[in-house]
Amino acid sequence: MLALMREARDQDSGDQDNVDIAGSEDGMTVATWFVVQPFERSKKGRMIQRDAREWQTAEAACREGERVAAQGGAAVAFARTGDPDTGDFAAVILGVYGAPPDEVLAA
């Protein structure tokens, strides 16, 4: 899971439309990204990781996870909160939908 979060962070386009940004008492910028990491079933039955996407709210990310699972795939919705200036982030899993590969949740 940590590798997925790092990958999603590295793919950030700098687009602030899907980011909840707030200041903290110590002057740090705190931002939260809501991300869905989808997986699609291959013709051979294996789950293949697709590009992570950002959503405007936690609810929207969870709905997308449900939609992916309803179509036979799997998804992990998570929120990343931290300081974009320093790159320090923490992640919270919002939901697991379908059956993602075992190694995704093992980290």
Query: DSSP letters along 41-85, please?
Result: E-TTS-EEE---EEESSHHHHHHHHHHHHHTT-EEEEEEEEEETT
The residue count for the chain: 107
**Domain boundaries, position 102:** 2-106
DSSP 3-state percent helix, strand, coil across the chain (nearest 5): 30, 40, 30
pLDDT tens across 17-72, in order? 555 555 555 566 899 999 999 999 999 988 999 999 999 999 999 999 999 999 99
Number of structural domains, the chain? 1
Please say whether the beta carbons of 97 and 69 come within 8 A.
Answer: yes
For the entire predicted model, the pTM comes to 0.73
| pLDDT value of position 106 | 78
pLDDT, tens digit (0-9, with 9 covering 90-100), for 70-84: 999 999 999 999 998
